[in-house]
Amino acid sequence: MKMFEPLNVGTMVIPNRIMVPAMVTRLSGEDGFVNQDIIDRYVRYAQGGVGLIVVEAMAVHHAKSGPLLRISDDKFIPGLADLARRIHDTSASRVVPQIIHFLKIAKSGWRQTVDMLAREDIEQIVEQFGDAVARARAAGFDGAELHSAHAYTLASFMSRTNPRKDDYGGDTLEGRLRLIGRIMENIRRKAGDDFPVGVRYNADEFIRGGYTVTDAKAIGLRLAEIGAAYLSLSVGGKFEDAVHSPGQVPYPYTGYSGDRCMPGDWYPPVTHAHYGAEIKAYVRARGHRTPVAATGKISEPDDAERLVASGEVDIVGIARGLLADPDWPNKVRAGERDRIIRCDYCNVCKHLDGTHMRVICTLWPQGSLQAPPDDRATAAPQWASAAAGLAATVQNGSILLKWSKAPGAARYDIHRCDDLGNVSFVDAVKVTRWEDKDVLGGRRYRYYVRAYAATGAGGAPSNTVSVDLPAPSYLPRVSAAETAAP
Amino acid sequence: MKMFEPLNVGTMVIPNRIMVPAMVTRLSGEDGFVNQDIIDRYVRYAQGGVGLIVVEAMAVHHAKSGPLLRISDDKFIPGLADLARRIHDTSASRVVPQIIHFLKIAKSGWRQTVDMLAREDIEQIVEQFGDAVARARAAGFDGAELHSAHAYTLASFMSRTNPRKDDYGGDTLEGRLRLIGRIMENIRRKAGDDFPVGVRYNADEFIRGGYTVTDAKAIGLRLAEIGAAYLSLSVGGKFEDAVHSPGQVPYPYTGYSGDRCMPGDWYPPVTHAHYGAEIKAYVRARGHRTPVAATGKISEPDDAERLVASGEVDIVGIARGLLADPDWPNKVRAGERDRIIRCDYCNVCKHLDGTHMRVICTLWPQGSLQAPPDDRATAAPQWASAAAGLAATVQNGSILLKWSKAPGAARYDIHRCDDLGNVSFVDAVKVTRWEDKDVLGGRRYRYYVRAYAATGAGGAPSNTVSVDLPAPSYLPRVSAAETAAP
């Protein structure tokens, strides 16, 4: 499969085109140092065979925040070097840290905005990014990534809502791009022009007055021109529409733009990859071959392969899907898709991040701080246990499924066959009941359930239940549309 | 061209596939009666040759509001009948009224929500819609359209945020669809099942927790099943994210969902038509041939034709483009695209609507309440006047254009040729200067300007100016990406 072919990313070669984008783990302390939990988390991705690991955002400065890694002083280099070394010792996965600057924010809801920065502050930020990337190189990372997405300083300069009146804003695209340009220039000087530095930025801000893909294409071109090793696309995640809970520091993923940033189960799969395709085409047409990475509810192997094989984008970023199962790459490559622990986009991980709690996946065994080890080598390929006695009850507007507990089951995957016969994975649960609230009366639905052990080994499918949902009384016997001539 | 072929829409035949969607004019009084200004506005669309005219929303009830048409009593029928007759006397355009129910809202920001409605209130709404559509038929309209989009009652029931706990909500899709189902059933009873009733609804709510195209596909299927004559898609326009100005009634187009609903000049063209294609494919795959109309920054003839000829959608809805130039259909059909008065998506019309002022287009002659008459029959095909002396000044991050006034010019269209040689219309202005703030240093841009008389007749293009915008100092001489091997 194309996604398992290596790819040149600047001077780095990633062994395959699957990326785990930066995800905050909240495993670090407030001291900013790498600890064993952090190492375990990222080594686990390396074990799973992902091509590129982007380590969660680490700050270029010392500003107060919750649990967060730092790269703001040479004292952090040994810990970071240990992290990089441990990953390199594990597999061929390449690893880069995501590097961030953020502005001040208070529990009152007050937040510093880019127009409050003096020009000296901007010069300091330029230097801080250069120093941070030099430290990333010293620590043995394969490259670095600048966080210019969501609610943070670089993104706020790029934003169409940038309120500065000087040449770092001034209501012009060129002004909004000046800071990232100066930073990349300084990074070349301080870390060398052969060290691959990618940029993550928003393809669409998804806020009132925010920029759309129209600007994102031009931004992508400029990033290619200033030597970005890759473009990693995200969307939304802004403070402008964040919901402020009194007494809490605003969290930029609580508003609509936060919904878009980490789209939940009510969003279609592969929600935002079309932006990547549009941006890549625009940048390519102007002579740049900078690889483009797309993210956003990509987790079905067929979707990932299609995106890469068609050339729409070069890299697929899988965040929550790899949190649920770091072995996704190895399992797909080995033809063991049925063993994947599939993310159901319940977004408990997002909630844990927002409340500064250690980020885990609810599909992991109870109490685990890390994904369980892949036991392919030792476990029987087929686990014996199966959910049985699946039965459906029609409720008012929904279908309730219940089944018997399978001995030793850690979770159950629910599969639905729709009215056209398309089977899809619709949810994963730890209990033995599930309600389908998204069905239409007058149609037939079929379901089966599979039990999975904590190791990922799956049992046989349960019996299948078929439900003919009664049509609501107001439905015409034969609709006008069906009787109309073509 | 395919867009000029007739189309069966229920029992109605529309002469071509161009629709003017409902746009509030604020030309009516608070009394709700049709007046001469209203008639003039819609007859003007009929003169322009559009296939389907959707008359602005008229209320099924008497609830207090700003200037708004009413269809809530038989006393409104004579005025509505006069409007329908005048349109039919003008051209083959078909005409349907958009029919709306809205909940109470106060200047304090308080608003009634669907969970505050008693079941008797719901029964009353069901009856009111049936009576209103019966009146539309009695008035001689060719059909009717239910307003189930944006911030209004039917959309709020359909919404994923519907908070009702009973069978008109209950957190199930079926519950959310119950009101529209019962209304359509009652309409069939009161207005006959051969009277075409389309439904306008949101393809995406664009609010936190709102529904996405996933639900919109299922909603479209149900609407087809209950006999909707067509599906007209919009997006956003919700109260949930509206910006409340103290002392003013909230306006549901002031938040991010309002940006999406009437996307401004910073949005890409044809912003939302892909939703229409997805919904149409879903409904067709299940045996329904219900025509689907897409809207949202469709105004280039090639875009409109592509959407219809490819079958992605069946009807193109052009709102602001037809407000700017109601003769768009006739001009495109006659091969006179250069005479189109092109909407530049400045959204002054949206602002006028929001402040309850009479909605006009700023590209019309000063002081006009209606688009100027099409003078194709009398005016010289080429108007003599031309803008001249076009000159460009490079500013900090932008390009300033100035030119000499063309005698008698009503407006100037600015055309830009980008770095790849693609020419596009970028703005329309009434003054003789324009600033391009969306340019990238290090690239070449060319511009020309055309002056237009108030009649729409255009002068010769001005001289062309070519600008080599200096690259910012931080740009590397040769970027890494350009030197990389493929």
> What's the ipTM?
0.95
A478 at B interface, C-beta within 8 A: no
Q: Which residues of A126-153 are buried (b: 16+ CB within 10 A; e: fewer)?
A: bebbbbbbbbbbebbbbbbbbbbbbbbb
Query: Taking CB atoms and an 8 Å cutoff, what residues of chain A touch B484?
Result: 8, 10, 289
- Answer for the pair A413, A341: CB distance below 8 angstroms, yes or no: no
Task: Please tell me the predicted confidence (pLDDT) of residue B483.
Answer: 43
Measured between alpha carbons, how far is B135 from B73 in angstroms, rounded to an integer?
8
How high is the mean pLDDT of chain B?
94
Query: Taking CB atoms and an 8 Å cutoff, what residues of chain A touch B160?
Result: 266
Report the percent of chain B where pLDDT is more than 70. 96
Contact assignment for B437 to A188 by CB distance below 8 Å = no
Task: Please tell me the predicted confidence (pLDDT) of residue A485.
Answer: 40
Helix (H, G, I), strand (E, B) or coil at A7: strand
Query: Taking CB atoms and an 8 Å cutoff, what residues of chain A touch B202?
Result: none
Q: How many CB atoms are located within 10 Å of the residue A163 CB?
A: 12
As a whole number, mean pLDDT of residues B273-286 equals: 98
Task: Please tell me the predicted confidence (pLDDT) of residue A382.
Answer: 57
What band does B460 get if pLDDT is binned at 50, 70 and 90?
confident
How high is the mean pLDDT of chain A?
94
Q: Which residues of B158-191 are buried (b: 16+ CB within 10 A; e: fewer)?
A: bbbbbebeeebbbebbbbbbbbbbbbbbbbbebb
Which residues, numbered 273 to 312 in chain B, qualify as contacts with chain A under a Cβ-Cβ cut-off of 8 Å? Answer: 274, 285-290
Q: Over the stretch B165-194, which tens digit does the pLDDT of each residue have?
A: 999 998 999 999 999 999 999 999 999 999
DSSP string computed for A259-313: HHHS--TTSPSS-SHHHHHHHHHHHHHTT----EEE-SS--SHHHHHHHHHTTS-
Q: Over the stretch B70-83, which tens digit does the pLDDT of each residue have?
A: 999 999 999 999 99
Name the residue in chain A with its Cα closest to that of B218: A440
Tokens for A403, please give them: 């089944």
Residue B410 vs residues A215, B329, B344, B413, B427: alpha-carbon distances, Å: 30, 22, 15, 10, 14
Task: Please tell me the predicted confidence (pLDDT) of residue A130.
Answer: 98
* Crossing angle of the two packed helices B213-225 and B273-284, in degrees rounded to 10: 50
Of the candidates A160, A177, A257, the beta carbon closest to that of B266 is on A160
- Answer for the pair A56, A22: CB distance below 8 angstroms, yes or no: yes
Task: Please tell me the predicted confidence (pLDDT) of residue B478.
Answer: 61
pTM, two decimals, is: 0.96
* Non-local CB neighbours of A478 within 8 Å, separated by 6+ positions: none
Helix (H, G, I), strand (E, B) or coil at B95: strand
Task: Please tell me the predicted confidence (pLDDT) of residue B65.
Answer: 87
Task: Please tell me the predicted confidence (pLDDT) of residue B366.
Answer: 86
When mean pLDDT is compared across A237-246, A371-380, B36-45, B100-109, the lowest value belongs to A371-380
Task: Please tell me the predicted confidence (pLDDT) of residue A89.
Answer: 98
Measured in angstroms, the CA of B85 and the nearest CA of chain A are apart by 27
Contact assignment for B420 to A184 by CB distance below 8 Å = no
A13 at B interface, C-beta within 8 A: no
| 3-state percent breakdown (helix, strand, coil) of chain A, nearest 5 | 30, 20, 50
C-alpha neighbours within 13 Å on the C-beta side of residue B257? 28
Task: Please tell me the predicted confidence (pLDDT) of residue A380.
Answer: 53
- Answer for the pair B195, B11: CB distance below 8 angstroms, yes or no: yes
Measured between alpha carbons, how far is B432 from B451 in angstroms, rounded to an integer?
10
Tokens for A206, please give them: 């998804």
Task: Please tell me the predicted confidence (pLDDT) of residue B385.
Answer: 76
- Angle subtended at Cα B93 by Cα B362 and Cα B81, rounded to the nearest 5 degrees: 95
User: Number of A:B CB contacts under 8 A?
Assistant: 198
Distance of CA B341 to the CA centre of its chain: 16
Of the candidates A225, A259, A420, the beta carbon closest to that of B475 is on A225
Measured between alpha carbons, how far is A476 from A474 in angstroms, rounded to an integer?
6
- Answer for the pair A68, A59: CB distance below 8 angstroms, yes or no: yes
B474 at A interface, C-beta within 8 A: yes
Active site (catalytic) residues of A = 152
Measured in angstroms, the CA of B41 and the nearest CA of chain A are apart by 31
Residue with tokens 């040729």: B417
Task: Please tell me the predicted confidence (pLDDT) of residue B484.
Answer: 44
Contact assignment for B206 to A256 by CB distance below 8 Å = yes
Per-residue pLDDT of chain A (486 residues; tens, 9 = 90+): 999 999 999 999 999 999 999 999 999 988 999 999 999 999 999 999 999 999 999 999 999 888 899 999 999 999 999 999 999 999 999 999 999 999 999 999 999 999 999 999 999 999 999 999 999 999 999 999 999 999 999 999 999 999 999 999 989 999 999 999 999 999 999 999 999 999 999 999 999 999 999 999 999 999 999 999 999 999 999 999 999 989 888 999 999 999 999 999 999 999 999 999 999 999 999 999 999 999 999 999 999 999 999 999 999 999 999 999 999 999 999 998 888 999 999 999 999 999 999 999 999 988 999 999 887 655 555 566 778 899 999 988 899 999 999 988 889 999 999 888 889 999 999 999 999 999 999 999 999 999 988 777 788 889 999 999 999 999 997 644 444 443
Please give the span between the terminal C-alpha atoms of chain B, in angstroms, as a whole number: 42
Measured between alpha carbons, how far is A84 from B83 in angstroms, rounded to an integer?
74
Name the residue in chain A with its Cα closest to that of B226: A475
- Angle subtended at Cα A223 by Cα A218 and Cα A227, rounded to the nearest 5 degrees: 145
Q: How many CB atoms are located within 10 Å of the residue B388 CB?
A: 15
Contact assignment for A225 to B290 by CB distance below 8 Å = no
Contact assignment for B225 to A475 by CB distance below 8 Å = yes
- Answer for the pair B152, B180: CB distance below 8 angstroms, yes or no: no
Of the candidates A218, A229, A440, the beta carbon closest to that of B174 is on A440
Of residues B372 and A318, more confidence is placed in: A318
Burial classification of residue B305, based on how many CB atoms lie within 10 Å of its CB (0-12 exposed, 13-18 middle, 19 or more buried): middle
Task: Please tell me the predicted confidence (pLDDT) of residue B125.
Answer: 98
